């Protein structure tokens, strides 16, 4: 995928691309609350897939389940030729070397400098010399557009810099899959565009499969090759254009809510999980 | 009515057993982390500094104050029997056999144990432990194990320091303020304390308390809810549980082995 000058994306057809992550009949409950109720979807290799849905709809939980941070009640998740839900602790730890994750809040270790944070995976999993580590980290800093941050602590970074540092750390071991949890949250519109371009550029440069959760419709439409829409514990998948023109009322109301058009009360409460006024009073 | 009470009781019992099982599993994983490579020497030294060196002042001041109180109280009691010359033995044995290890454990629990639980709890809340997992780094190995090991290493050393300061405090009160002969104070100490019995018993107690506080503080932080209330509960829980268990285990060790 590439971005044109006016910011619109030139999307590739995702139908012919083999699945890198394949989710089959996923079920998960937190107490009485159903998060996934037979969710099935596939994420094509080397593409950017954006996961959309209402708050509390299970977007972050889906990423965590793929990363073996959350065990589902039922269902299979295939990453390449490996089924990951039945992995033991040590197997899961090995498997995670194939995945990078950019957390919503960055999740950088606040007792380490930015340099130490990004170099930590190299120190733990490679036999690189100190010079090689320095060179690799500096290269990664350049790739994400970070300068003069080596000795700063995470608490001294701005929101945009924190996201860049998190992306640098997630990509340092050159993973096959990059999971991005709300990469645009808390950023101003300019910073959103910068991070957006950075993620697309990373995808183009490395061919990494990107799974991203977002509430940001503009970015989704510009970046995504495929959209997975989580609704009622299930997933509606499709190329971005297909989702944009969907006639499903739940998707329509979500898309309309992100624009400037007014919403009817019917649309507002559809699948939101919030009680309507008359229900509250009754 | 009666049935609901029984159900509640059953639910709490099962939850308690479940938590005990979780704690045992965590302790097993922690032990496994301590004996598997890589050995995190640098992190261990950092933690020894945080737990040990930063607790020096509080331990020295408390030890000195306790020793001075023991000197005053001991003198008052021993005078009734005309045995004030035994003040050195009284202060030394009380500190070495009992108060040194126990009070040090309580002080370290309040200062360092609560800090460990809060730090790990905050790491849970800000997804830092998940961040480590996503780097294929076991957070128990990287975060919890060095803290628990440092706690076990520093507890006997801090306890020894507490005892030395306490004996010094007792000396100041007994010899300088109350006029006891310095020779009889020191001779009483030297003659009554047996290394194989009293000192080794003191070290054993400190090591056991170190293991206890280290495991409880890391476990409570590790299993805290990922929010501010969770961090707060983990901190409070660590201080309460570790303090009460220290006193109970102290009784059990004393009753079983007489140290």
Q: Please state, in angstroms and rounded to a whole number, the distance separating the CA atoms of residues B170 and A201.
A: 71
Chain B residues near residue A99 by CB distance under 8 angstroms: 134
Q: Read off the pTM.
A: 0.85
Which of B125, B131, B225 should we substitute to test contact with A (largest number of A Cβ atoms within 10 Å)? Answer: B131
8-state DSSP, A98: G
Chain B residues near residue A101 by CB distance under 8 angstroms: 130-131, 134
The range of the structural domain enclosing residue B230 comes to 39-257
* Interface check A94 vs B, CB under 8 A: yes
pLDDT (0 to 100) of residue A282: 46
pLDDT (0 to 100) of residue A23: 93
What mean pLDDT do residues A55-63 have? Answer: 90
Give per-residue pLDDT as tens, B115-136: 999 999 999 999 999 999 999 9
% of chain A exceeding 70 in pLDDT: 86
Among A103, A125, A169, beta carbon nearest to B127: A103
The pair phi, psi for residue A70, each rounded to 5°, is: -135, 130
pLDDT (0 to 100) of residue A259: 66
pLDDT (0 to 100) of residue A255: 79
What mean pLDDT do residues A103-125 have? Answer: 94
B6 assigned to some structural domain: no
B13 assigned to some structural domain: no
Closest residue, chain A, to B29 (C-alpha) = A89
B12 assigned to some structural domain: no
Closest CA of chain B from A236, distance in Å: 27
Q: pLDDT tens string for chain B (259 positions)?
A: 788 889 999 999 999 999 999 999 999 999 999 888 888 889 999 999 999 999 999 999 999 999 999 999 999 999 998 888 899 999 999 999 999 999 999 999 999 999 999 999 999 999 999 999 999 999 999 999 999 999 999 999 999 999 999 999 999 999 989 888 999 899 988 889 898 889 999 999 999 999 999 999 999 999 999 999 999 999 999 999 999 999 999 999 999 887 7
Query: What is the layout of strands, in order, in the sheet containing A48-53?
Result: A99-102, A177-181, A209-213, A48-53, A226-231, A234-239
* Interface check A103 vs B, CB under 8 A: yes
Among B123, B134, B137, beta carbon nearest to A67: B134
B14 assigned to some structural domain: no
Q: Please state, in angstroms and rounded to a whole number, the distance separating the CA atoms of residues A116 and A152.
A: 10
Chain B residues near residue A173 by CB distance under 8 angstroms: 135
Contact assignment for A121 to B130 by CB distance below 8 Å: no
With beta carbons less than 8 A apart as the criterion, state whether A108 and A120 touch.
Answer: no
Asked whether the predicted pLDDT for residue A8 surpasses 80, the reply is no
pLDDT (0 to 100) of residue A102: 94
Give per-residue pLDDT as tens, A239-276: 888 888 888 888 888 877 776 555 566 655 555 555 55
Is A244 or A135 the better-scoring residue by pLDDT? Answer: A135
B58 assigned to some structural domain: yes
| CATH 3.40.50.300 residue window(s) in chain A | 2-246
Asked whether the predicted pLDDT for residue A13 surpasses 60, the reply is no
Chain A residues near residue B127 by CB distance under 8 angstroms: 103-105, 107
Q: Comparing C-alpha atoms, which of A146, A207, A219, A145 is closest to residue A182?
A: A219
Closest residue, chain A, to B40 (C-alpha) = A124
* Interface check A163 vs B, CB under 8 A: no
pLDDT (0 to 100) of residue A252: 81
Q: Please state, in angstroms and rounded to a whole number, the distance separating the CA atoms of residues B95 and A100.
A: 54
Q: Beta-carbon neighbour count of residue A237 at 10 Å?
A: 19
Is A148 or A15 the better-scoring residue by pLDDT? Answer: A148
The residues in A 34-53 lying below 8 A from B, measured between CB atoms, are none
CATH code given to domain A2-246: 3.40.50.300
Among A94, A103, A173, beta carbon nearest to B131: A103
Among B38, B134, B136, beta carbon nearest to A94: B136
B135 assigned to some structural domain: yes
Count of domains for chain B: 1
């Amino acid at each position: 995928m590439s971005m044109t000058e006016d910011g619109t994306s030139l999307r590739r057809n995702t139908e012919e691309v083999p699945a890198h992550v394949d989710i089959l009949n996923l079920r998960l409950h937190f107490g009485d609350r159903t998060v996934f109720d037979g969710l099935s979807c596939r994420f094509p290799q080397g593409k950017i897939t954006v996961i959309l849905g209402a708050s509390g709809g299970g977007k972050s939980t889906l990423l965590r389940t793929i990363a073996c941070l959350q065990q589902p009640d039922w269902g299979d998740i295939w990453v390449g030729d490996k089924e990951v839900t039945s992995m033991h602790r040590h197997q899961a730890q090995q498997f995670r070397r194939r995945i990078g994750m950019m957390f919503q809040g960055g999740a950088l270790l606040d007792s380490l400098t930015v340099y130490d944070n990004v170099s930590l995976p190299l120190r733990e999993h490679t036999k690189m010399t100190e010079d090689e580590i320095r060179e690799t980290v500096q290269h990664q800093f350049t790739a994400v557009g970070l300068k003069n941050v080596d000795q700063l602590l995470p608490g001294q970074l701005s929101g945009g810099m924190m996201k860049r540092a998190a992306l640098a750390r997630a990509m340092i071991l050159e993973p096959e899959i990059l999971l991005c949890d709300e990469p645009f949250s808390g950023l101003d519109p300019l910073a959103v565009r910068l991070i957006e371009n950075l993620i697309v550029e990373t995808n183009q440069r490395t061919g990494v499969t990107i799974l991203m959760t977002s509430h940001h419709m503009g970015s989704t439409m510009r970046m995504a090759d495929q959209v997975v829409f989580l609704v009622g514990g299930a997933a509606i998948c499709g190329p971005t254009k297909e989702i944009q023109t969907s006639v499903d009322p739940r998707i329509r109301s979500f898309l309309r809510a992100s624009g400037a058009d007014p919403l009817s009360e019917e649309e507002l409460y559809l699948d939101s999980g919030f009680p309507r006024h008359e229900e509250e009073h009754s | 009515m009666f049935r609901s009470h029984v159900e509640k009781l059953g639910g709490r019992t099962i939850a308690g057993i479940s938590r005990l099982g979780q704690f045992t599993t965590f302790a097993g994983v922690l032990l496994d982390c301590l004996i598997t490579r890589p050995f995190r020497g640098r992190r261990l030294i950092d933690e020894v500094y945080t737990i040990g060196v930063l607790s020096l002042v509080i331990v020295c001041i408390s030890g000195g104050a306790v020793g001075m109180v023991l000197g005053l109280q001991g003198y008052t009691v021993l005078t009734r029997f005309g045995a004030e010359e035994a003040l050195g033995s009284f202060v030394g044995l009380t500190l070495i056999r009992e108060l040194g290890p126990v009070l040090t454990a309580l002080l370290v629990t309040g200062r360092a144990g609560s800090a460990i639980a809060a730090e790990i709890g905050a790491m849970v809340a800000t997804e830092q432990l998940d961040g480590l997992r996503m780097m294929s780094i076991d957070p128990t190995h990287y975060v919890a194990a060095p803290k628990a090991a440092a706690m076990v290493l520093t507890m006997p050393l801090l306890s020894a320091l507490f005892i030395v300061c306490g004996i010094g405090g007792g000396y100041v009160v007994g010899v300088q303020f109350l006029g006891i002969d310095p020779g009889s104070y020191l001779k009483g100490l030297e003659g009554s304390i047996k290394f194989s019995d009293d000192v080794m018993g003191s070290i054993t107690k400190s090591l056991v308390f170190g293991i206890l506080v280290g495991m409880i503080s890391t476990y409570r932080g590790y299993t805290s809810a990922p929010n501010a209330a969770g961090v707060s509960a983990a901190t409070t829980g660590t201080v309460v549980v570790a303090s009460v268990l220290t006193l109970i285990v102290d009784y059990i060790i004393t009753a079983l082995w007489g140290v």
